[in-house]
Structure 1
Amino acid sequence: MTKKADKVVPIAENREARAKYEIIEKYEAGIALEGPEVKSLRSKANVSFKDSFVRIDNGEAWLYNLYISPYRFATIKPPDPLRKRKLLLHKREIMRLLGKSQEKGYTIIPLRLYWKNGKVKVEIALVKGKKLYDRRQELKEKAVKRELEREFKGRIRL
């Protein structure tokens, strides 16, 4: 038997997270959505990760403040775009995240939303906030690397 390759199609990415946080661990989770939300995502709707985070309550993981724009053709009443949504994780993953997130300075945030084999998945990460000087150092290193690449390119052309 050959395993069918997992087809991953991106929906949205939280670019700000990589700049503000140091990523410790990543997890893939399913997300419980309502019909109009899925249709909205299929129609390339607006998704915003601003102020979104994951909290663990009573042994269940919940995603807060993930904005999915309402589906404009929804018939009855579209769900609240900022409602909390349940994340589908294994119990041991939830317990591990709970233990780690209770340590000082750690939090859980969503990194990206994507389709995988026809289902919506969310990649969440255990992160630690970067200090201002960490971000500055990272920008300096990036600038030095870019400058070295420019010099290297200039030498090849000679």
Structure 2
Amino acid sequence: MAKANNKVIPIADNREARAKYEILEKYEAGLVLEGPEVKSLRNKGNVSFKDSFVRIDDGEAWLYNLYIAPYRFATIKPPDPLRKRKLLLHKREIMKLMGKSQEKGYTIIPLRLYWKNGKVKVEIALARGKKLHDRRQELKERAMKRELEREFKGKIRM
């Protein structure tokens, strides 16, 4: 009996989302891709999360504006790099996300793309946008923490 390989191999990470949004809940979803897109990801093709988001239409979750670089050696016409892609989620997860995302200030964003058991998965999150003063406060706290760590390291070495 072969043991299942649950190794997670990262493809891309959306760092900007963690800075701009407060993450409330995370979900793992499958991603419907075409052959050349999968080959592009296997060959470390360029992926960009810029302006990407998730929208729920007619009870189905769709990922918009995720850029996957076209595969150079595709023999057929490669798909549009920014096309909308279907997300594979359970119906109850879709209904929960739909209810929450319709509230004011909430959105669904992709956080990262990765391989799991030979399949491409995307981690999506229900998020609320941070205000400018929230981000400034976070930067101040991070700078103060860094300063304290520097002072603490300096005292230990003396």
What CA deviation, in whole Å up to 9, does each residue of 1:24-56 have, x standing for no partner? 000000000000000000000000000000000
Distance across 2 between alignment mates of 1:16 and 1:89: 24
1-side partners of 2:149 and 2:4: how far apart?
Answer: 40
Mapping 1:2-151, distance limit 5 Å: 4-151=4-151
Displacement over 3 Å in runs of 4+: 1-5
Q: In structure 2, the residue corresponding to 1:70 is in which secondary structure?
A: coil
CA distance in 2, matches of 1:66, 1:102: 22
Q: Distance in 2 between matches of 1:20 and 1:2?
A: 43
- CA RMSD, aligned part only? 1.1
TM-score by length of 1: 0.98
Could you say which residue in structure 2 is the equivalent of 1:153? 153
For structure 1, the 5+ residue unaligned runs are none
Distance in 1 between residues matched to 2:127 and 2:101, nearest whole Å: 9
Alpha-carbon offset, residue 129 of structure 1: 0.3
**TM-score, normalising length: structure 2:** 0.98
Aligned residue pairs, count: 158
Identity of aligned pairs, percent? 86
> Quick one: which amino acid aligns to residue 82 of structure 1?
L
